[in-house]
């Protein structure tokens, strides 16, 4: 019955997606403002408005709004969007319902590259950090897919997840060893739990254009990704340049995952969760799934970050841990539902 209803709504799918995009953007804006208001010290809404329109650099609360809370909430927005879109692109290209940059080793690869960069390079610039995160994300993915390809049937979704878990655990251990060995242990949570605290405008200046470009390319590619989700042979038959789409798609995934790790550490499950939810809302067309995933991913991270700073105030719950709390049951649900094919 449910699918028949979806069918009837098909003509409206485009409008429905637009409506959802607008509604979610509205919610996103609301929670972004809320996220600036709440925190260790509550800042009244009027002060937030003041900080934007009549910024006074002597006013400590204005400084908090502009230099701490605004970059933090923008980080949550771009990281959420980046992770969700990278997950959507991976799911569409590989037809793997469990694809996620965290589960497939990209995030932990990027984190290790970051640890090496911070520990062994003097006066590292933020662009170098992001660049190393790309290399790390690519190497992490290569390791996971490489190990899987050695096993017969290794490209099945669940085998990839297992291989991803093994590689990630190893990479995280190495990152932690480097962090401890170089007395960077105050950042230890960052590698395993993820967080958007303490991001500065400088970091955002380097990261936001990359993520923006990545999402834009993903949107331009989305029609081809829809066709690819019907299988490679069908896509080839329709004249899709498979190698081109896969190469560009992989670059987009690495850019998005790497940059989000550089901003927020390793956060898993957003990339798996959000595209499924978007698909549930508007159907299997990636031209709609990808933009909606971007907004929904941003929304999830902003809301989760509000939770991270308020649930056990004044101390903070790691953002990644909160998301995993939500992600694990959903992961188990999908893993069980598709057990025959995994």
Partner 1 sequence: MKKGIRTENIKAAYGEKVIIEELSISIPMGQITTIIGPNGCGKSTFLKTLGRILGIKKGYIYLDGEEIHRLPTRELAKKLAILPQAPQAPDGLTVEELVSYGRFPYQKGLGRLTGEDKEIVSWAIEATGLKGLEEQATSDLSGGQRQRVWIAMALAQETEVILLDEPTTYLDMAYQLEILELLEDLNKVHGCTILMVLHDLNLASKFADHMIAFREGRVIKAGTPGEVMNKETLKEVFQIDAAIVTDPVSARPICMSYQLLNKEKNRSKVKKGA
Binding site for partner 1 (CB under 8 A): 3-4, 6-8, 10-11, 220, 222-223, 226-227, 229-231, 233-234, 236-241, 279, 283-285, 287
Q: DSSP letter for 41, please.
A: S
Q: How far is the CB of 237 from partner 1 (least distance, A)?
A: 4
Question: How many whole angstroms separate alpha carbon 89 and alpha carbon 96?
Answer: 10
Question: How many whole angstroms separate alpha carbon 159 and alpha carbon 211?
Answer: 29
Q: How far is the CB of 103 from partner 1 (least distance, A)?
A: 20
Q: 98 vs 261, which CB is nearer to partner 1? A: 98
Environment class of 67 (CB within 10 Å of its CB; exposed 0-12, middle 13-18, buried 19+): middle
Q: How far is the CB of 287 from partner 1 (least distance, A)?
A: 7
Are 334 and 98 within 8 A, CB to CB? Answer: yes
Which of 170, 175, 194, 169 minimizes the C-alpha distance to 269? 194
Q: 8 vs 54, which CB is nearer to partner 1? A: 8
Q: How far is the CB of 227 from partner 1 (least distance, A)?
A: 6
Q: 111 vs 225, which CB is nearer to partner 1? A: 225
Q: How far is the CB of 113 from partner 1 (least distance, A)?
A: 32
Report CA dihedral (155, 276, 338, 335) to the nearest 10 degrees. 80
In order of 3, 14, 269, the CA distances from 260 in angstroms are 35, 29, 13
Token pair of 323 as six digits: 């998301």
Q: 92 vs 136, which CB is nearer to partner 1? A: 92
Which of 268, 218, 329, 290 minimizes the C-alpha distance to 79? 268
Q: How far is the CB of 219 from partner 1 (least distance, A)?
A: 8
Q: If you search the block for the tokens 């662009």, which residue do you land on?
A: 127
Q: 212 vs 237, which CB is nearer to partner 1? A: 237
Q: How far is the CB of 328 from partner 1 (least distance, A)?
A: 23
Question: How many whole angstroms separate alpha carbon 85 and alpha carbon 65?
Answer: 28
Q: 122 vs 233, which CB is nearer to partner 1? A: 233
Q: 62 vs 276, which CB is nearer to partner 1? A: 276
Question: How many whole angstroms separate alpha carbon 138 and alpha carbon 269?
Answer: 18
């Amino acid at each position: 019955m449910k699918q028949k209803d979806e069918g009837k709504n098909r003509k409206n799918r485009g409008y429905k997606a637009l409506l959802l995009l607008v509604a979610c953007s509205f919610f996103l804006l609301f929670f972004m403002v809320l996220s600036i208001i709440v925190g260790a010290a509550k800042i009244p809404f009027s002060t937030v408005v003041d900080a934007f329109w009549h910024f006074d650099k002597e006013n400590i609360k204005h400084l908090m709004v502009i230099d701490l809370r605004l970059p933090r909430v923008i980080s949550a927005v771009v990281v959420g969007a980046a992770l969700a879109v990278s997950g959507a692109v991976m799911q569409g290209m590989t037809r793997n319902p469990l694809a996620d940059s965290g589960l497939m080793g990209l995030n932990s690869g990027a984190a290790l590259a970051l640890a090496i960069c911070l520990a062994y390079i003097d006066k590292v610039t933020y662009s170098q950090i992001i660049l190393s995160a790309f290399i790390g994300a690519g190497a992490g993915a290569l390791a996971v897919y490489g190990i899987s390809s050695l096993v017969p049937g290794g490209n099945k979704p669940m085998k990839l997840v297992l291989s991803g878990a093994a590689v990630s655990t190893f990479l995280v251990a190495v990152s932690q060893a480097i962090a401890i060995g170089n007395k960077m242990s105050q950042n230890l949570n960052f590698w395993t739990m993820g967080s958007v605290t303490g991001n500065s405008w400088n970091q955002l200046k380097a990261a936001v254009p990359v993520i923006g470009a990545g999402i834009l390319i993903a949107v331009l590619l989305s029609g081809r990704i829809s066709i690819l989700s019907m299988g490679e042979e069908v896509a080839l038959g329709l004249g899709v340049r498979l190698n081109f789409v896969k190469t560009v798609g992989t670059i987009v995934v690495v850019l998005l995952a790497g940059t989000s790790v550089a901003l927020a550490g390793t956060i898993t499950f957003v990339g798996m969760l959000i595209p499924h939810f978007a698909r549930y809302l508007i159907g299997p067309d990636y031209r709609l799934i990808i933009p909606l995933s971007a907004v929904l991913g941003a929304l999830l991270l902003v809301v989760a970050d509000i939770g991270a700073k308020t649930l056990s105030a004044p101390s903070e719950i790691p953002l990644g841990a909160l998301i995993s709390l939500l992600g694990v049951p959903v992961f188990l649900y999908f893993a069980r539902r598709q057990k025959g094919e995994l």
